Amino acid sequence: MVAVNHVSNSLGTVNPVGEIVRMAKGVGAFSLIDGAQWVAHGRTDVREIGCDFYVFSGHKLIAPMGIGVLYGKRTLLEKIPPYQGGGDMIKTVRFEGTEYAELPAKFEAGTPNVAGVAGLGAAIDYLNVLGLEKIGAYEQELLKYATRRMLEVEGLKIVGTAKEKSAGISFVISGLSTLDVGVRLDREGICVRVGHHCCMPVMERFGVTATARASFAFYNTFEEVDALVEGLKRIEARSQKPEASSIEYPVAVVIGVETAAEVVAEDFLLLDDREAKGAYVLELGEGLPRLWEMLKRVSPRVEGCMSEVYMVGRRRPGTRDVFEFVADADAEIVRGLIVVLQKIYSGQKASEIVAFDIEGFFGRIGLEQFITSQRRNGLAGMVKKIRELARRVLTENTEDTER
């Protein structure tokens, strides 16, 4: 089986699916085309493509969530057994044996998604009235205009520049985390997708950890492209902050990890909703000294973080077991989380750091409300690193005592 997407969701590349299908047939392989990123942007003819299977999800066609289509050649679908059981997918059921229903009922077990089916049909009718060829032509004009204008942004690089593209642009901006790009555009009312787009091998191929992606459809306008570009220019301008000339380890504001955590918790609990908490963390990140290049040269990347994070910790000179650390990251919200950890941990006794239930603290302040699961994984990676460094301080202290 050769399976390939009609359009790359991460790059926008329109793949030559007809040619790929012919190549697959040439070696005796079946073919499956994932058309989710294509079907709303141009005419689809499975006979012309020649594929054995074609699939897409309805919400890509402005239909409701939870509905989609599997097209398959009848001769193959008849050979494939049903993958689940339920009402209407059988002719007869006996202990001696079961006879399945004819196509397509064999694959439609249980109560159908009636509302989803109706919505999908209405969406297809609507797009056909607008004209898929007209939609595709308009979106290509948006793509050309956006490509030209986005290259005005200092440090912006487009990832994926195939000759045949759908109306989507993946990009990175030098020195900026794509997460920061997405969060800051969101605060201006502009929606883009950020991350690895479920395509980590593609990201590795292009030498990036993630991209931001602006996707355009028939309802977008040239004025919205202008708003996107101006927003990106403002974000890039704000990112130009000088690197600190030296490392200064933060001292404890209050003594005791538990007490410091209470102070931090009070700040968060005064904020009403996730938007306010997220904005607060971003503001904390803006105040963190930039040590990116310096730390990158002397420390390994913290494992488990989607963003690049570098950290250095030590026992404070002149003390027996006081731990302090500095860190920096390529994402502003992660930089804000670093400040939170510094407020709790830096300048405190290593034994208290190791024993403190930071996970319980995160639950108290509602951390899951304002950062993604991937950022929580990265935060866990930073906490693990801090605990490792604190344990090292304790070990050094024990060795000094024994000597």
Tell me the pLDDT tens digit for each residue of 326-338.
Answer: 999 988 889 999 9
DSSP letter (8 states) at residue 88: T
| 402 pLDDT higher than 70 | no
Q: Give me the pLDDT at residue 245, please.
A: 85
User: Alpha-carbon distance 313 to 218, whole Å?
Assistant: 52
- In this predicted model, which residue has the larger pLDDT, 396 or 100? 100
Q: Give me the pLDDT at residue 183, please.
A: 84
Q: What band does 399 get if pLDDT is binned at 50, 70 and 90?
A: low
* 5-9, 54-58, 174-178, 203-207: range with lowest mean pLDDT: 174-178
Q: Are 24 and 2 in contact (CB under 8 A)?
A: yes
Starting at the edge strand found earlier in the chain, the sheet holding 53-57 runs 2-5, 31-34, 53-57, 68-72
* 55-64, 143-152, 392-401: range with lowest mean pLDDT: 392-401
Q: What's domain 134-238's superfamily in CATH?
A: Aspartate Aminotransferase, domain 1 (3.90.1150.10)
Domain-by-domain residue ranges, the chain? 2-130, 134-238, 257-402
Give tens-digit pLDDT for 257-313.
999 999 999 988 888 788 888 888 888 988 899 998 899 999 999 988 777 899 999
CATH of 2-130, one of 3.40.640.10, 3.90.550.10, 3.30.565.10, 1.10.150.120: 3.40.640.10
Angle at 398 between CA 393 and CA 400, to 5 degrees: 95
Mean pLDDT of 145-172: 95
Q: Are 325 and 353 in contact (CB under 8 A)?
A: no
Q: Is the peptide bond before 104 cis (omega within 30 degrees of 0)?
A: yes
Residues annotated catalytic, as ranges:
198
Q: What band does 374 get if pLDDT is binned at 50, 70 and 90?
A: confident
- Where does 73-131 show beta strands of DSSP type E? 90-94, 97-100
Q: Give me the pLDDT at residue 6, please.
A: 98
| 398 pLDDT higher than 70 | no
Give tens-digit pLDDT for 196-250.
898 999 999 999 989 999 999 999 999 999 999 999 999 888 777 778 888 999 9
- In this predicted model, which residue has the larger pLDDT, 63 or 307? 63
CATH of 257-402, one of 1.10.10.10, 3.90.1010.10, 3.30.70.141, 3.40.50.300: 3.90.1010.10
Give tens-digit pLDDT for 170-203.
999 987 888 889 988 988 899 999 988 989 999 9
Q: Give me the pLDDT at residue 270, please.
A: 87
For all residues of the chain together, what is the average pLDDT? Answer: 92
Please identify which residue in the block is written with the tokens 């049903």.
82
